[in-house]
Amino acid sequence: MDDDAPLSTLRNLGPAMERAFAAVDIVTVGQLRDLGADAAYGRLLAAGTRPHFIGYYVLEMALQGRPWNDCKGEEKKALRGRFDALKVRNVDTDRVAFEAMMNAIGVIER
């Protein structure tokens, strides 16, 4: 696949993922491949995207050209470990808790 192709040309990645990555200046297949799943997903988390394991492993499968649900067993456990490490490095848990509290009392619009 052409490195200049848009992200939605990768198997498993659609317009929503393309928009999310564009917000963190990742717009081509080549940029995504150069960064790899961990660094690219880390950018999303650092920008405030809520962590979601399925989104992370769909990204990993897309970079490998595999179906999104092809990840199983030990491979999936290993990916879960990488995902959990990414969350620790890139998610401000205090901010998440604060926003949840503000949302619960109606300060943040839904």
Which CATH superfamily is 7-104 part of? 5' to 3' exonuclease, C-terminal subdomain (1.10.150.20)
Location of structure tokens 């491979």:
75
Going residue by residue through the chain (110 aa), what tens digit of pLDDT does each one get?
688 999 999 999 999 999 999 999 999 999 999 999 999 999 999 888 889 999 999 999 999 999 988 989 999 999 999 999 998 887 766 676 677 777 778 776 65
* The pTM of the whole model exceeds 0.85: no
The DSSP result for 31-91, as a single string, is HHHHHHHHHHHHHHHHTTPPP-HHHHHHHHHHHHT--TT---HHHHHHHHHHHHHHHHHH-
Query: Can you give the residue ranges of every domain in the chain?
Result: 7-104
Distance CA 93, CA 69 (A): 28
Whether 70 contacts 17, CB under 8 Å? no
